[in-house]
Amino acid sequence: MSSFDISIQARASGDFHEATILEGLAPMDLLVVEREWSPERSNLMQELLAAGVDRRKWPQSLHWDWSKKAPALRLLESSGFGLVCEKKWQGVMMTRTVSYSARLKADRGKPIVYLDFLEVAPWNWVIQDIHRSGLFRTIGLQLFWRAVQQSLDEGFKGRVGLHSLPRAEDFYRKCGMVEVGHDAAKQDLVYFELTQEGAEKFLADGGYK
Amino acid sequence: MTQQSNRTGPSREWLLRMADVEDSCPSVSVGGMACDLDLLAPPHSNGQRIFGRLVEFARRQLGMSVEQLANEADIELSEIVEIEMHDETVPRVRTVFQLAKALKIPEGRLMEVAGLATPRPEISHAALKFAARSESTAKLTFNEREALEEFVKVLVEVSDGGMRD
Amino acid sequence: MAAKKTMTLNLTDAEMLALDELSEKKDLSKTAVIRQALRLYQMVNIRIERGDKLFFEDEAKKEKAEVVVL
């Protein structure tokens, strides 16, 4: 397992806390993540029910169970990343390097890091309907940054691809990804791609030399 | 061959700037694998499955066994098993009412999830597929830890049959 | 990055040529090409082991032909 020292921001204080991204998660790690996160998922679900929030407005990943994804980590092409802060899993990401390749014309067919999965711990979610302001932020950013770094490490020049959930599309757009289009093979989710140029700009903006 | 990556992550200044972007979006989640695992909302959802899963999860969250819930709610054990395990079960009104009390879920809401109150046009598949295989974070006994590790072994070794890439 | 071991690979001229071409086409180092090939081979084999089949599809004719991988 490799580790990367980073920091994430606490919402209430604005302070940055030391954190670590671990690369090379094993299936067991994902089960531990699920055990850590599921009580909070349950709490959120209860609160949403109690507040009578329309189910269409519930966080879409509320019901996702990470343990189902565990077997994927057996494959060489899959990588699991976990962000740890204050001894808890604050975010998890899974990527793949072989199953998908670039779709944009300029680099079509060239390998990319495909972002299979990215999720932030439920206690970090901002859910206005139940007055939840979330503990930490910048977790998604740090993990996405790491995915772009992985692409560099692999020799893929920073190319990244992903299918965004509808509510996250704006985020990936603003990270400089190109909106390729709705993908019928993925229930019409929009497929985004970060080109080599886009990656260079993204990383340069973040101070990477 | 491969480049050495910057191991310290992006600058704080960039993080602060981009954090507002991150915040302006309700979510940063991606959906590729969720789609493959059929976790996204399908066009039609089955109310009974949501109900069954919710009951199971709420029960486990409270640390109750099925037997304990049956006692607590004054419902037949077999009925709870039916509800949790079988998707076609239509619960009775009294059952839902009793479960709501025992599980500390607002009755009206549970009625709705059970499909007994005026159903909303769409019930989110998010609730439906709430798989909740794990227990709450009560400390694991040695036996429970063993059982978990056995389960992990099976999970990893036996069938990926349910997982499509 | 995880600890790595070194391996020496003896390739024929034809294999080296193929490796060079792939390296060029995919804009990858030769090592990265081999690595990708290994990952792909493993992934395909695991899926076939669990009962999936691998097909090529002729988009024009809409015909499928099974790719047999051992």
User: HEC states along chain A?
Assistant: CEEEEEEEEECCCCCEEEEEEEECCCHHHHHHHHHHHHHHHHHHHHHHHHCCCCHHHCCCCCCCCHHHHHHHHHCCCEEEEEEEECCEEEEEEEEECCCCECCCHHHCCCECEEEEEEEECHHHCCEHHHCECCCEECHHHHHHHHHHHHHHHCCCCCCEEEEECHHHHHHHHHCCCEEEEEEHHHCCEEEEEECHHHHHHHHHHCCCC
CA dihedral A30, A31, A36, A38 (to 10 degrees): 110
Rounded mean pLDDT, A52-61: 79
Rounded mean pLDDT, C9-19: 96
**Range name among A39-53, A57-71, B116-130 with the lowest pLDDT average:** B116-130
Of the candidates C1, C29, C50, which has its C-beta nearest B161's C-beta? C50
pLDDT value of residue B115: 67
Q: For chain C, say whether A107 makes contact (Cβ under 8 Å).
A: yes
Specify the 3-state DSSP secondary structure of C67. Answer: strand
Residues ≥6 apart with Cβ < 8 Å to B7: A4, A5
**pLDDT tens sequence across A101-150:** 999 999 999 999 999 999 999 999 999 899 998 999 999 999 999 999 99
**pLDDT tens sequence across A4-51:** 999 999 999 999 999 999 999 999 999 889 889 988 888 888 888 888
The half-sphere exposure of B54 on its side-chain side, counting CA atoms within 13 A, is 34
Instruction: Report which residue type is found at B123.
Output: I
Residue B152: enclosing H or E segment and its boundaries? helix B142-157
Which is higher by pLDDT, B67 or C35? C35
Specify the 3-state DSSP secondary structure of B90. Answer: coil
Do residues A122 and A69 touch, judged by C-beta distance below 8 A? no
Q: Is A68 left (phi over 0), alpha (psi -120 to 50) or beta?
A: alpha
Of the candidates B1, B159, B165, which has its C-beta nearest C47's C-beta? B165
Q: Which CATH number belongs to the domain containing residue B145 in this structure?
A: 1.10.260.40
Specify the 3-state DSSP secondary structure of B24. Answer: helix
Query: Which residue segments constitute the domains of chain A, with CATH numbers given?
Result: 2-205 (3.40.630.30)
Do residues B63 and B138 touch, judged by C-beta distance below 8 A? yes
Q: Report if residue B136 sits inside a domain.
A: yes
Chains contacting C with at least 3 CB pairs below 8 Å?
A, B
CA distance B57 to B59: 5
Mean per-residue pLDDT over chain C, rounded:
90
pLDDT value of residue B93: 80
Confidence of residue B162 (pLDDT cuts 50, 70, 90): very low
- Whether A119 sits inside 8 A of B29 (CB atoms) is yes
| B interface test, pick of A25, A63, A203, A209 with most B CB neighbours within 10 Å | A63
Chains contacting B with at least 3 CB pairs below 8 Å?
A, C
The alpha carbon of residue A3 is apart from the nearest alpha carbon of chain C, in Å, by 9
B window 72-101, beta carbon within 8 A of A: none
Rounded mean pLDDT, C8-19: 96
Q: At B157, list the tokens.
A: 């070794």
Q: Report if residue B30 sits inside a domain.
A: no
Rounded mean pLDDT, C11-19: 97
**pLDDT tens sequence across B1-33:** 334 444 568 999 999 999 988 888 878 889 888
Contacts of B1 in chain C (CB under 8 A): 29, 31-32
pLDDT value of residue B48: 53
pLDDT value of residue A10: 96
CA distance A92 to B82: 35
**pLDDT tens sequence across B27-81:** 888 988 888 877 775 433 444 566 777 788 788 878 888 889 999 999 888 888 8
DSSP state of B157: H
pLDDT value of residue B5: 44
**pLDDT tens sequence across C36-66:** 999 999 999 998 888 888 888 888 888 888 8
| B interface test, pick of C19, C34, C42, C47 with most B CB neighbours within 10 Å | C47
Contacts of A99 in chain C (CB under 8 A): 43
Number of domains in chain B: 1
What's the pTM? 0.74
Contacts of A49 in chain B (CB under 8 A): 105-106, 109-110, 113
Q: Please say if the pLDDT value at position B134 is more than 50.
A: no
Do residues A133 and A11 touch, judged by C-beta distance below 8 A? yes
Residues ≥6 apart with Cβ < 8 Å to B56: B84, B132
C window 12-41, beta carbon within 8 A of A: 25-29, 32, 36, 38-40
Mean per-residue pLDDT over chain A, rounded:
92
Name A101's bridge partners.
A111
Specify the 3-state DSSP secondary structure of B92. Answer: coil
- Whether B2 sits inside 8 A of C46 (CB atoms) is no
Range of the domain at B102: 47-157
Q: For chain C, say whether A99 makes contact (Cβ under 8 Å).
A: yes
Q: Report if residue B35 sits inside a domain.
A: no
- Whether B2 sits inside 8 A of C50 (CB atoms) is no
- The tokens 């189910």 sit on which residue? A55
Strands A16-23 and A78-85: what pairing?
A: antiparallel
